[in-house]
Amino acid sequence: MKRLALPLLAVALAAPAVASAQDIPGEFAFDFSVGTDNRSKGASKSEGDPFAMGSVEWGLNDFYVAAEVQTIEHSIGADLEPQISAGWRPEAAGFRFDLSATHKWYLNARPGTDDDAWEFTADASRRLTDRVDARLRFQYSPDSAGSTRSWTWVEARGRVRVHERVRVSAAVGRREQVNSRDYTAWNIGADVRLTDWASLDLRYYDTDVANPSAQYEDALVAVLNIGL
């Protein structure tokens, strides 16, 4: 439980100092999450165990920088993943884009292992109707942590607002990796806005991996998100 609290504690301690900087232009946002499994690109980053995440983002016009830390269980022994991102969110021709570069560190990894990585993301989303939107995501890393080298992830997602506070969504993606497993993953679920600052996401994940380990096996995952 102590390890799960670290991401939330780090952001909570930083919040008063950032919030007191009244002369800084732009806007700050804080996010906290706890969940039953840390899923990314359809696979578990926590070997099916609970996780915690905390982040802070500063934005000015369409540009932003963010810092985040989350608990993980990586094969190289790492149990914490801090990261720093910079990105741009322009709009054009009815599309909203999110283009970012992220550098990740894997803390407490075994000595001699590859314990950092770059990740580049390009999202294109569009509102199709008042209730329906879609997003296409492309991600690339030239050299991931551990023994994995370069990889790509392509994912399509659709969402439907079925209630003022409820959205149902589904996504399917494909990951191709050098020196690691290729797989297809999908998920379906709903996010419910509990208050103006809290939401709950309940989602089923699965992959096409035969005889999967905890990293790739199917799971029903619940995540509580708090945004300030």
Q: Which pLDDT does position 21 carry in this prediction?
A: 52
Mind listing the pLDDT tens digit for each residue in 157-200? Answer: 999 999 999 999 999 999 999 999 999 999 999 999 999 999 99
Average per-residue pLDDT for the chain:
92
Return d(Cα 44, Cα 205) in angstroms, integer: 9
Return d(Cα 190, Cα 159) in angstroms, integer: 9
What average pLDDT does range 56-65 have in this prediction? Answer: 97
Q: Which pLDDT does position 224 carry in this prediction?
A: 98
Would you place residue 6 in the very low, low, confident or very high pLDDT band (cuts 50, 70, 90)?
low
Return d(Cα 198, Cα 13) in angstroms, integer: 20
Lowest mean pLDDT, pick from 4-18, 147-161, 209-223: 4-18
Return d(Cα 36, Cα 41) in angstroms, integer: 16
Mind listing the pLDDT tens digit for each residue in 35-47? Answer: 999 999 999 999 9
Return d(Cα 222, Cα 50) in angstroms, integer: 10
| H helix intervals, the chain | 2-19
pTM greater than 0.85: yes
CA distances to 56, 71, 197, 215 from 82, in Å: 12, 9, 24, 20
Determine contact, residues 83/68, Cβ cutoff 8 Å.
Answer: yes
In sequence order, what E strands does the chain have? Answer: 27-35, 39-40, 43-44, 51-60, 63-71, 80-88, 91-92, 95-105, 116-127, 132-141, 151-163, 166-177, 183-193, 198-207, 219-227
Task: Return the exposure string of 159-171: e unless at least 16 CB atoms fall within 10 Å of the residue's CB, then b.
Answer: beeeeeeebebeb
Which candidate, 63, 104, 67, 69, places its Cα nearest to that of 87?
63
Q: Which pLDDT does position 16 carry in this prediction?
A: 54
Q: Which pLDDT does position 41 carry in this prediction?
A: 97
Nearby residues of 44 by Cβ (< 8 Å), 6 or more positions away = 37, 38, 214, 215, 216, 217, 219
Q: Which pLDDT does position 2 carry in this prediction?
A: 47
Q: Which pLDDT does position 24 carry in this prediction?
A: 80
Mind listing the pLDDT tens digit for each residue in 25-37? Answer: 899 999 999 999 9
Mind listing the pLDDT tens digit for each residue in 98-144? Answer: 999 999 999 999 999 999 999 999 999 999 999 999 999 999 999 99
Given the structure tokens 């945004």, which residue do they identify? 227
Q: Is pLDDT at 3 greater than 80 in this prediction?
A: no
Give the chain's radius of gyration (CA, Å). Answer: 18
Q: Which two tokens stand for residue 181?
A: 């497993």
Given the structure tokens 């608990």, which residue do they identify? 71
Q: Is pLDDT at 13 greater than 80 in this prediction?
A: no
